[in-house]
Structure 1
Amino acid sequence: MASAPAAGPVIRNEFRISATQLKTGSASWQDSLKLKRKKPAQLLSGSVSDTLKIASSDAIYTADLLKSPTGSLYNILTGRLSGLYTNQSSGEPGFDGAALQLRGQSPLMIIDGIPRSVTLLDPEEIESVTVLKDALATAMLGVRGSNGALLITTRKGFNGKRKIAFTAQTGVQQALKMPDFLNAYDYANLYNEALRNDGLAAKYSNADLEAYRNGTDPTGHPDVNWKDQVLRPAAPISRYNLNVSGGGDATRYFISLENFNQGGLIKESDANKYSTNSSITRYIVRSNIEVDLDRQTTLGLRLFGRIMNGTEPGGTVTNIFSSLINTPNNAYPVFNPDGSLGGVQQFTNNIYGQATAAGYQATYNRDMIADVSLTRKLDSWAKGLWVRGMASYFASASQRTMRNKTFATYQYTGTGYRVFGVNGDQSNASTVSQNNRQVYAEFSAGYSNRFGANGIDVYLAANSDTRSIDGDLDLNYSGISGKLTYDFNKKYIAELAFGMNRSNRYPKGTPLGLFPALGLAWNIYQEDFMKDSWLKDLKLSASYGKTGWDKAGYYVFNQYYTDASGLGYVFGATPATVNGVTESTLANPDIRWEKSDKLNIGLQGSVLNQRLAFDVQYFNNKYYDLLMQRGRNSAVLGNDYPDENIGINRYTGADFQLKWQQQSGNFSYFIGGNASLVKSRVIYSDEVFQQYSWMQRTGQAVGQPFGYIAEGLYQTVDAGSVAVTGYTPQPGDIKYKDLNNDGIIDQYDEAPIGSTKPLFFYGVTLGFNWKGLDFSALLQGVENRNMLLTGNSEWEFQSNGFGQAYPFQLDRWTPQTAGSASYPRLTAGSNVNNHKTSSYWMHSGDYLRLKTVELGYTLPMRISRKIKLDNIRVFANALNLFTIADFDRVDPEVKPGSYPIQRVINGGISIKL
């Protein structure tokens, strides 16, 4: 008998595990086999087996999720799912989640079938994370399907003996990579050189330089390593989880409790009675219960609650890390002789004061989810028929309390002090930074049965999703969706899916959008001619469909005016009848959702008695009706043009998976890899007329950086030397390629810079299990990635000539180093020629990380049973253990001036009874 699906329009039928489906980063070979032996309904809801699966997808499971000691689910996914690219740009507690791209797009997040974004989840409560890649997998999402989706399925109870599991783990975090800065002597020496290059007098005398060198005057000639002064070398991290699962014939349950704590790197002062560090504490409770009201009716109740509290210094983490790359080591001392905070006119905000004397800020986040469903089997009418109703409520609120203080800094003059700022009392303010609600309702019905060699599976749903986002008018998505799967003898499969919906962000009377998709699959291994073949589980599949993406914005089809204070909108009025108003961006009454046409072709199979499995997926996706402003608009209008559905982009590429697994006696091992290649191209963007072909953005990769092409440094200059318009080049300046040979460098010489090759990213997993000892590792990397560094993170003496400088600038051009210099001649402040966006400042972002490593040992059962426990496992794991990068001066994911990614060394124990 077919089982009814769990909540939501897309989670049934999509994904199954078979010998050919690759589980990247599998905990062990035995775990993989255990999953494969389960019935499909035990893995994911629905009635279509993996044999009949057509849609392109990839999944990981609980055992893999637990290997990464991090508080963000998105960081756990790095390198584990084909087609999914991640980039973590910050390591700040609570804000360290990676940005995701699925085949070049930002995927929609779905939890238990309902679209919602709650990324800070407990990995213990998650059964699987699945990426939905092609049109067939996301067709039922309709107007929210173009970008693919990330499907999270939480764990359920089961009919069996109660199981209790407790895990405790704790570790330390360290900054993975931080920029180095010049010491005071080198800084002063280079600063003098920069001034001389600018034709100005030196700032520092020989006596000043000597004082910086020997450190005899720490007040008047300080040399402060600000990183050491305000940042800790390490910070703690811990997680504790207790979950209970089981059930009987009528009731099944899964209940989980989690406490997660992550400390920050900001130093604190004993003088404060409160924390000024950046840290978070999180509590999560999850309860999933199913109750059979009778033999045909099942009631489901899923509850989720989360409390997350965070702190940071009153000076804010963002400002502190910005100050680190803007403040030279010789700017001012941390403390003056009398213990007051140091400062000077150019730098009045002491960084240590920002961290410890500016008060603190606290955040309070509360989230609650309640899902209720009622499923009724109608086998008395028709075997395999069922109906289902479901309602869900989600509420999220965030509050920030600011208890800031101002502080004074002092400059010691030798006879007294100059004062900058005041020591103020603590201010107290509180704001609600987020107050969101979501009400989701769905009615669905399905039918699944076989008639001889013919199998049929039908699913239909109608749903409404209403969201209240802060003070905005409600956003609502509504429509219907469905899927029909037919197979002949489980050998030839056809599937048709559709979504028909829209949101209320379009003009009244806008019809529902129809987004259909069709898929075909051929289980070649079931053909008679394949029975004795060395190829096993060989399947060929293809899908094609149209998907949509809702990106209209907030009622942009209405023309509105903003009052002078900017406090509100005035609809239906004109400037003549309303005083002090400004006409906002022109309305677009013809706005529609963006669309895409997607083609996917897949081949999967296994060889060598299913020990070696492979999966190859090719995709070709055209995104059109993309919203953008016309590039050829005119300023004569006196207003901003609206976004219009005019853009066209194309993304092509392939996903690859390969895995070997084998067992011999007590020893089993696996090694596998996934890789993805993504190429993008701008087909149409209504760009302005470009005089030369190399200036055209059309035809280039989406987001391709443009700038000048550097040809090294000038060694000599003459009357024929070319430079930026209005600038006279000097020896040591960057020489740019004059593409149009007109003798000057201007906008006509801008061209693509950096790598223009398709983005390539990959993950490699390996591990073994032997007599209770288990080991696993994940290596993750990216190729053909650009990293442009400019401003305070790369250039010398920014911030009006008073900014930071770096050790790599010691290798600057001088007449003595002309033949080997890797950095241009120095200048104080901005240089109109050298400080241009160019290939000189474009670096390779390619890297390889040892992302996770875990070693565990499970005590023999005879020992654990003696103390009445089913299982005891101790483990140690690490995150971001080491990195190999083409350009290793900075972290390849985090630019200087941001909170660094963390290396985590962690250990723990897991007890089951």
Structure 2
Amino acid sequence: MKLIFIRFMFFCGILLLTCSSKAVPRKTTTDPCHAGWLAQKYTGTVFDTNSPVATLVKDSLVPLKNPQPVQLPYVTVPQQLAVASTDAVYNSDLLKSPVTSFGNALACRMAGLHTLQFSGLPGSDGASFNVRGQTPVIIVDGVVTGLTQYDLEEIESVTVLKDASAMAMLGVRGSNGAILVTTKKGIEAKPLVSLTVQTATQQPLGYPKAVNAYDYARLRNEALRNDGIDSANSGLYYSQTALDAYKNHSDPYNYPDVNYWKEVTKNSSMLNRYTLSTRGGNRFAKYFVSLEHVNQSGFFKTVDSNTYNTNNNFKSYIIRSNVDVNITPKLTGGIYLLGRIQNANEPGATTSLILGNILITPANAYPVLNENGSLGGSQIYQNNIWAQTVASGYRQNYKRDVLVNVYLKRTLDELLPGLWIKAKVAYYGSLSESIYRGKSFAVYQKNGSSYTQFGANGTQGNSNGIDYQGRLDYEEFSAGYDKTINEDHGLNAIVLVNRDNSSNGYDLPYTITGTSGRIAYNYKGRYMVEGSWGINGSNRYPDNGNTKRGVFPAIGLGWNIDQEAFMANVPFVSALKLYGSYGRTGWDRPGYFVYYPRFLDGPGYYFGTSAGGATTITEGTLANPNITFQKANKLNIGLSGHMLKDQLAFKVEYYRNNYYDILMQRGNNSTLLGNEYPDENIGKNRYFGWEGQVSWRQTGNKLQYFIAANASTIGSKVLYADEVNRPYEWMKRTGQPVSQRFGYIAEGLYQSQDEINTRATTVGYKPQLGDIKYKDLNADGIINQNDQAAMGTTKPLFFYGISFGVSWKGFDISAVLQGVQNYQVYLGGNYYWAFPDNGLGQAWSENLGRWTPDNAAGATYPRLSYGINTNNHATSSYWLRNNNFIRLKNAEIGYSLPQSLISKIRLQTVRVFANGYNLLTWAASDFSDRDPEAYFGSYPVQRLVNFGINIKF
């Protein structure tokens, strides 16, 4: 199938090149603020590709007579008439980031959208999304798919929806916000062919730094002494001979010092991308077709002796075809197709296991290779990490995605001018299949002149199977009316019914059905009022009439103040709009038919040796016959404007969202029942915050530039949680921020015996010097669970983005800065604590700052312990770290060849460029050897430096 696909791509590429003709200018739209918010009145611009400044500001600096409309579910709204809270990023800004997931390209470009990239694993390096405290739904051309791994060149825009007015029509999918992906469509113009070739170098940004063998050995001796383990009766201590050998590297086979991270990983890897697209059409048919191939290699080392690949590589092949046709003067239709193939490869031991073993294997565990060339290891450490990387076989994963989206639209002007109807059908299929070809290996430990073998050589594991198989079909019928009456009264309405049916593997289908609508009215474009609603629900609720369907209404108001007569005397204000919305939205979390009682097979019992046995029946989690969807009441108020001949633009919004009927388990449950209680709709939370954006743009004949900034806060509060009985107020979750951490409040380390004698005692533990001391909140002289309280900051999360760009005589440069404040993380476990895994684990560079009598005042880590220390490793504020950081997220420099030169060879544009991603980071000292986004030992986030060329003809 892969060969057929490649041949098809090659054929399409030849066809597109053959069909190309003389270059013509084309019109596109973008946004100088990288946030889509600049335009309430002027968003897009006419763009002449012959301009030498095309590569930077493209179409963003000259106002359009018809600004880019706001994308909402099922409808588009003119910018000047929009009252919903939305932000958008357009294609030209997305392409500045050399990434494979559009989520990574959105970082810090829009207010209200917070992204974090937790991993740099090829094929799985997409950022997480957070819209005003919630995880949004992803909608591609009107269909909920969740796809984020995309050809960025096929995306026209990405819009984030945030308030009730924008989300009401989604009904039970409206509470968490949404990300709308709109792909490119055809245009009425001669064919425009675009070819882009890019190659990037990837470098891991940070990984926990393990100590060397000498430091490990001496620190472990210190930990053993601290725990009072007798050196005379213990073989756990390292002798002075061993310490000297580790320090001097005099006997690397008997006293190894191995940096496993450097042994199995490379300093850099490659990412190559090739994209070919064409766009054009006439008054009968318009089309956009795109082909892309991505080849992203991982950072594991390989050996030439293998006839197969053991690196963690990722390859993808994506084809997009969007065609719109005017079937008759009143009937139009379209078919949008997406095909995607993703192939991933990794060592047989798996990438996650190898990285996990790096975290728990000390530098002196074994040599990579023994003196006789065999694999090093021991009875305790049989996980030779080098062998796991290159000698454990391989695993392959194949993913296939197909998305088909078809519509027909008919105007009914003969019945009523402005009336139309539309039918839409979509299908999405996804399949993930894995193949495993594993190999076992033996490790050998040297004992004098001989070796002891652990494990077996040559055993091969072979398996394959379906990991995931999903299907979705979507049907929609809508009718709308759009009319301006007597040039003063604008009326827009839409009503639709839809059905969204999906299935995952062998599960029964999950089906959401219902109706929704929107009615909007404006008077002279000055005053706007709109009402929207959704009435829907899913098939996984009991059909009792109360929980099957929900009603989710919203109302929005807007006032274009600049249209008032009194603003005529304020010439420096060109646009000023006050707007707001309030409404109820829903979120569907039904579980898998949890309203049914369930009885499952339990353990078997046998009677004697020949009497046979019996299988017991166990009752599952209690059923909840009253389960329903979660809900939220959302308020949004905003003010936006343009001043000083549209050079200065701003926008500020306040939101307050009250979530209720949140599913949670009751805290006051009785274990006497002998069963688990179900989730019930009883929780209440509130999210609130501010979002602000401002930009300045300057145009000129040769020099053009812009600078823009956005900032957002996300605060939260638990309004009600059915908690267990807590005797003190500081223990209660109600009133605290959502997901607030609770634990002991650390007050430094014990520095004297007098402190130990006079402070509260710890239940079941006798403190020593260098241990963490905790605050006795109830002053009862005992440290126990009653002294746990909210720990760390309770301030709202604050994040921001700053972008700027300059263009001059064909040269352009732009950059984006990302910043996060009031962001704390909890450091602990295998990637931070010394000697985990019952004392056999790793030690880290941070552990060198441990408490000792000589380092008492400057200690940054408690005294060392061998294994888990119940006092020091208890959940406490001591392990919280500020993770505020500023990052140069993206930068690009480019040059467009003069039109006078390239027109001679029938080319429209030729642009060479270099861009980078995650280029520089300024973070707290606690993250000197780690990345602030992926700090816990997962596949590290990558820095990318990319070079490319784009040719249009």
Matched, 1:68 2:116: no
Matched, 1:564 2:602: yes
Aligned to 1:580: 616
Counterpart residue type for residue 500 of structure 1: I
Q: 2: distance between equivalents of 1:459 and 1:812?
A: 66
Q: Per-residue deviation at 1:47?
A: 6.2
* Contact map agreement 1:17 1:35 (CA 8 A) in 2: no
- Deviation >6 Å, runs of 4+: 41-45
Task: Work out which of the residue numbers 869, 872, 877 in structure 2 matches 1:834.
Answer: 872
Counterpart residue type for residue 820 of structure 1: G
Q: 1: distance between equivalents of 2:708 and 2:465?
A: 49
Matched, 1:350 2:384: yes
Q: 2: distance between equivalents of 1:673 and 1:450?
A: 37
Aligned to 1:221: 255
Q: 1: distance between equivalents of 2:110 and 2:123?
A: 23
* Contact map agreement 2:55 2:894 (CA 8 A) in 1: no
Counterpart residue type for residue 359 of structure 2: I
Counterpart residue type for residue 845 of structure 1: N
Counterpart residue type for residue 102 of structure 1: V
* Contact map agreement 1:15 1:50 (CA 8 A) in 2: no
* Contact map agreement 1:48 1:457 (CA 8 A) in 2: no
Aligned to 1:272: 306
Aligned to 1:602: 638
Matched, 1:736 2:774: yes
Partner SS state of residue 664, structure 1: coil
When residues 192 and 16 of structure 1 are mapped into structure 2, their CA distance, relative to the original with a 3 A threshold, is closer
Q: 2: distance between equivalents of 1:851 and 1:419?
A: 49
Task: Work out which of the residue numbers 88, 107, 112 in structure 2 matches 1:59.
Answer: 88
The residue correspondences of 1:128-139 to structure 2 (distance < 5 A) are 128-139=157-168
Counterpart residue type for residue 437 of structure 1: R
Over the matched positions of the two proteins, sequence identity in percent amounts to 49
Task: Work out which of the residue numbers 641, 645, 649 in structure 1 matches 2:685.
Answer: 649
Matched, 1:901 2:941: yes
* Contact map agreement 1:20 1:614 (CA 8 A) in 2: no
Q: 1: distance between equivalents of 2:37 and 2:943?
A: 34
Matched, 1:540 2:578: yes
Matched, 1:512 2:549: yes
Q: Which moved more, 1:276-285 or 1:816-825?
A: 816-825
Partner SS state of residue 59, structure 2: helix
Q: 2: distance between equivalents of 1:708 and 1:483?
A: 51
Q: Per-residue deviation at 1:508?
A: 2.0
When residues 67 and 366 of structure 1 are mapped into structure 2, their CA distance, relative to the original with a 3 A threshold, is same
* Contact map agreement 1:722 1:729 (CA 8 A) in 2: no
Counterpart residue type for residue 549 of structure 2: L
Task: Work out which of the residue numbers 438, 444, 456 in structure 2 matches 1:404.
Answer: 438
Aligned to 1:892: 932
Gaps of 5+ in 2: 1-35, 46-53, 232-236, 605-613
* Contact map agreement 2:269 2:298 (CA 8 A) in 1: yes
* Contact map agreement 1:383 1:449 (CA 8 A) in 2: yes
Deviation per CA, 1:474-527: give whole Å up to 9, x if none.
Answer: 010101110000011111100000001000010124442110000000010000
Deviation per CA, 1:423-467: give whole Å up to 9, x if none.
Answer: 133211011011000010100111111112111001111100110
Partner SS state of residue 322, structure 1: helix
Counterpart residue type for residue 724 of structure 2: V
Q: 1: distance between equivalents of 2:686 and 2:446?
A: 62
Counterpart residue type for residue 468 of structure 2: Q
TM-score of the two chains, using structure 1 as the length reference:
0.95
Aligned to 1:10: none
Q: Per-residue deviation at 1:723?
A: 4.3
Matched, 1:117 2:141: no
Gaps of 5+ in 1: 1-13, 567-577
Q: Per-residue deviation at 1:288?
A: 0.2
Q: 2: distance between equivalents of 1:128 and 1:35?
A: 18
When residues 64 and 125 of structure 1 are mapped into structure 2, their CA distance, relative to the original with a 3 A threshold, is same
* Contact map agreement 1:658 1:672 (CA 8 A) in 2: yes
Q: 1: distance between equivalents of 2:58 and 2:494?
A: 34
Counterpart residue type for residue 528 of structure 1: A
Aligned to 1:531: 568
Aligned to 2:832: 794
Task: Work out which of the residue numbers 178, 182, 199 in structure 1 matches 2:228.
Answer: 199
Q: Per-residue deviation at 1:21?
A: 5.4
Deviation per CA, 1:643-690: give whole Å up to 9, x if none.
Answer: 000000000001111111011320000000111111000000111121
Q: 1: distance between equivalents of 2:780 and 2:42?
A: 60
Matched, 1:638 2:674: yes
* Contact map agreement 2:61 2:697 (CA 8 A) in 1: no
* Contact map agreement 1:626 1:647 (CA 8 A) in 2: yes
Counterpart residue type for residue 490 of structure 1: G
Partner SS state of residue 838, structure 2: helix
Q: 1: distance between equivalents of 2:142 and 2:513?
A: 15
Q: 1: distance between equivalents of 2:724 and 2:38?
A: 49
* Contact map agreement 2:631 2:659 (CA 8 A) in 1: yes
Partner SS state of residue 699, structure 2: strand
When residues 557 and 74 of structure 1 are mapped into structure 2, their CA distance, relative to the original with a 3 A threshold, is same
Task: Work out which of the residue numbers 346, 370, 382 in structure 2 matches 1:312.
Answer: 346
Q: Per-residue deviation at 1:536?
A: 2.3
Aligned to 1:4: none
Q: 1: distance between equivalents of 2:618 and 2:65?
A: 66
Aligned to 1:151: 180
Deviation per CA, 1:826-874: give whole Å up to 9, x if none.
Answer: 1111111111111111001111100000000000001111121000000
Q: Per-residue deviation at 1:721?
A: 3.1
* Contact map agreement 2:41 2:80 (CA 8 A) in 1: no
Counterpart residue type for residue 836 of structure 2: Q
Partner SS state of residue 651, structure 2: strand
Deviation per CA, 1:760-786: give whole Å up to 9, x if none.
Answer: 011111001111101110100111011
TM-score of the two chains, using structure 2 as the length reference:
0.91
Q: 2: distance between equivalents of 1:515 and 1:321?
A: 47
Deviation per CA, 1:265-314: give whole Å up to 9, x if none.
Answer: 11112221111111110000000001111111111010000000000111
Counterpart residue type for residue 734 of structure 1: I
Q: 2: distance between equivalents of 1:627 and 1:464?
A: 25
Aligned to 1:480: 515
Q: Per-residue deviation at 1:39?
A: 5.8
When residues 178 and 15 of structure 1 are mapped into structure 2, their CA distance, relative to the original with a 3 A threshold, is closer
Matched, 1:680 2:711: no
Aligned to 1:668: 704
When residues 48 and 194 of structure 1 are mapped into structure 2, their CA distance, relative to the original with a 3 A threshold, is closer
Aligned to 2:498: 463
